[in-house]
Amino acid sequence: MLPIVHHPGYSIDWPERHPFPMAKFRALRERLSALGFDSRDDVRWITPHPASSDALLRTHTADYLQRFYLGDIANTRRTPSGFPWSPALVERTLLEVGGTLATVEAARENGLALNSAGGTHHAYADRASGYCLLNDLAVATHYLLAEHRLERILIVDCDVHQGDGTAWIFRHEPRVFTFSIHGEANFPFEKVRGDRDVALPRGTDDDAYLRCLARELDPILSDFRPQFVLFDAGADVHAGDRLGHFSLSTAGLYRRDRFVLARCRDLGIPVAGVIGGGYDRDLQALADRHAQLFLAALALNPECCRSGKG
């Protein structure tokens, strides 16, 4: 069984010319439906609840959360995330983080689970950044540390942008290993040192990317021996992405995602996957790129999912 977490509230009404494609979550859900995911007996859809303040406070400061909830009421309606603040934005952000929390719990039981949102890796403990208000990867990791007493959690971040917020949050946490493979000449232009950072040049194609990923990931898996993996499968490495500057194909995305999931399956490591970045204005093309993660997971089902408790 492959659990997929989705909420209609992931997409909200949004300024038409805003560079962040807020409608992509709805487009992805429609794409998965068109691919037959709704009619499969081996797919289970999960509707998440908003993340609680208690869960968020393991990662974010109380002062920042108050400003997040209230929208920095004194000065501006636009946060450092690049988003225009609104109560609806607060609610969808809480749903997104709650979705990743539901995904890690489902992955513990099934060996693999996916969120149709998530990957907000630029958010710091005390501030927003880069279209990221709350760091769902960090919140979910802290949940696993606190509630399930895990001792070795690996974050595999394949978004084209370095996960600077995640690296900063866990900079002094030996139980968490942050691995980011990203664009060298891309946001954030001042990188934060993680446990393993690999910066690749503009124009990196399928073969170069996948060779590098295999060379880097395998030693981390064997040396760190993670008990759980969070996988940020950013689609912004695609050649058609407006903000990526890499040259991966859609087939390359599929190969990347299947490689990561299969490696973890072979080692019996549960994986929670999130979709990460993707910024094409063509929502159908973008949804198809994000869908590669789900197609890769389904191709490994049920073998992959037997690695969990279920």
Tens of pLDDT along 257-267? 999 999 999 99
The domain segmentation of the chain, as residue ranges, is 2-307
Q: Output Rg (C-alpha) for the chain, integer angstroms.
A: 18
**Among the CATH numbers 3.40.50.720, 3.40.800.20, 3.30.9.100, 3.40.47.10, which is that of 2-307?**
3.40.800.20
Alpha-carbon distance values, 234 to 68, 74, 79, 114, 155 (Å): 25, 34, 23, 13, 13
pLDDT at 73 over 50: no
195: DSSP letter: S
The pTM assigned to this predicted structure is 0.94
Whether 306 shows a pLDDT value over 50: the answer reads: no
- Cβ pair 192, 162 in contact under 8 A: yes
Report the chain's mean pLDDT, rounded to a whole number: 94
